C-alpha cells in the first residue's frame, strides 16, 4: 500500500475527561481541532513543509481559549501564565524550544525562530522573551492570555489547599496542544505547546519543550507529540524511546507509542501521544478516558474525536 502523499495529526490534550468536565461546549472543542487541521492542511495542500504545517496548526490551538496553550493557558500558583513550546524538523533534526515565556502570542512561532535563527535549542524565561523581541514576533500583554475559567480553576485549587487537600493535578486534566505532519516530500515534523499545570510553582517545566521527551521528529523513524503526566514522560524519555524502538527495533510507530505509554504508566503516569511514522501513517494512543485529537491525510476524510470509543 502506498503511503499518503501527506498526513497530519493534531491534539489538544487528554485526561479524565467527561461531558461535564470539558473546558467548554463540545462543539467548540471539536471546531477548534477542525480549525487547526484546516490550517495545517492548507500548508500541505500547497506543497509546503511539514515544519510549516505543524507550526500553523499549533498556532491556531494556541489562539483558541479552550485549550491550555497560549491564550487559555492555566495559571501558576503566583497567578501568572508561563508558556512552553517546542518544534522539530525530522529532515535535519534541528529543533527549537522555549520555556516560561510570558508575552509572545504564539510560543510555537518563537520556538521555530530559535530553531531557525539561533545556534541554540532551548531558551527560557527572560532570555526567550528578549529573543522574541529581537525576532519581531507579536507580543501581547499578559492579560491577553487570561481566560476566566482558568483563573477560577486556580482559585478552586487554592481553596482546596487551604482545606488541607492534596490538590496537585488532582483532576488529571492535561492541557497541551500539538501537531505532527509528513509532507509530500516525505519529511516529518512535530510541535508541542502548553501552559503547563494549574498552580505550578518554582518555574516548573514539563515534557512539552523537551526534545526527546514530549516532542520528537526524525525522518528515520517517526514524529510524535505527547501530552499527559509530564514528569513521567521526561523520566521515560518517551520521544527518544519511541524513535529508538522504530529505528533500531523495527517496531511500527503505533507499537512504539503503545510501548512508551506502558513505560509512562509504570512510572505512575498517564497520557496520550499523536504520531506519524516514516511510512506516513498517522495515529494516536492514550491511556485516559478522552483525548482531544484529529487527523487528516491526502487520501481520507478528516477525523476529529474526543472520547475513547471514537476512531
Active site members: 176
Enumerate residues 6+ apart whose C-beta is below 8 A from 182. 3, 4, 6, 7, 8, 50, 188, 223, 276, 278, 280, 282
Q: What would the grid cell of residue 131 be? A: 529573543
Residue with cell 510541535: 191
Distance CA 126, CA 131 (A): 9
CB 191 within 8 A of CB 113: no
- Length, in residues, of the chain: 311
Rounded Cα distance between 132 and 126, Å, is 10
Euclidean distance between CA atoms 191 and 21, whole angstroms: 26
Cα gap 26→114, rounded to integer Å? 35
Amino acid at each position: 500500500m502506498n503511503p499518503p502523499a501527506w498526513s497530519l495529526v493534531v491534539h489538544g490534550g487528554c485526561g479524565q475527561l467527561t461531558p461535564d468536565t470539558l473546558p467548554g461546549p463540545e462543539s467548540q472543542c471539536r471546531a477548534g481541532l477542525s480549525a487547526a487541521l484546516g490550517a495545517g492542511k492548507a500548508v500541505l495542500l500547497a506543497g509546503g513543509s511539514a515544519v510549516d504545517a505543524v507550526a500553523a496548526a499549533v498556532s491556531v490551538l494556541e489562539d483558541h481559549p479552550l485549550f491550555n496553550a497560549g491564550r487559555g493557558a492555566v495559571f501558576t500558583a503566583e497567578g501568572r501564565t508561563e508558556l512552553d513550546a517546542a518544534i522539530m524538523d525530522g529532515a535535519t533534526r534541528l529543533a527549537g524550544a522555549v520555556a516560561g515565556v510570558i508575552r509572545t502570542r504564539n510560543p510555537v512561532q518563537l520556538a521555530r525562530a530559535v530553531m531557525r535563527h539561533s545556534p541554540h535549542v532551548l531558551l527560557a524565561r527572560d532570555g526567550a522573551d528578549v529573543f522574541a523581541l529581537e525576532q519581531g514576533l507579536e507580543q501581547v500583554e499578559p492579560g491577553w492570555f487570561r481566560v476566566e475559567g482558568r483563573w477560577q480553576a486556580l482559585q478552586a485549587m487554592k481553596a482546596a489547599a487551604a482545606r488541607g487537600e492534596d490538590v496537585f493535578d488532582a483532576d488529571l486534566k492535561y492541557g497541551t496542544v500539538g501537531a505532527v505532519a509528513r509532507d509530500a516530500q516525505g519529511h516529518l515534523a512535530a510541535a508541542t505547546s502548553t501552559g503547563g499545570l494549574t498552580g505550578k510553582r518554582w518555574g516548573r517545566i514539563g515534557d512539552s519543550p523537551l526534545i526527546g521527551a514530549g516532542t520528537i521528529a526524525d525522518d528515520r523513524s517517526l514524529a510524535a507529540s505527547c501530552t499527559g503526566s509530564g514528569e513521567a514522560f521526561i523520566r521515560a524519555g518517551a520521544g527518544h524511546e519511541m524513535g529508538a524502538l522504530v529505528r533500531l527495533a523495527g517496531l511500527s510507530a503505533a507499537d512504539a507509542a503503545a510501548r512508551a505509554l506502558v513505560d509512562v504508566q509504570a512510572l505512575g503516569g498517564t497520557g496520550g501521544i499523536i504520531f506519524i511514522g516514516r511510512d506516513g501513517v498517522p495515529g494516536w494512543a492514550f491511556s485516559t478516558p478522552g483525548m482531544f485529537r484529529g487527523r487528516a491525510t491526502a487520501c481520507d476524510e478528516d477525523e476529529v474525536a474526543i472520547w475513547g470509543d471514537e476512531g
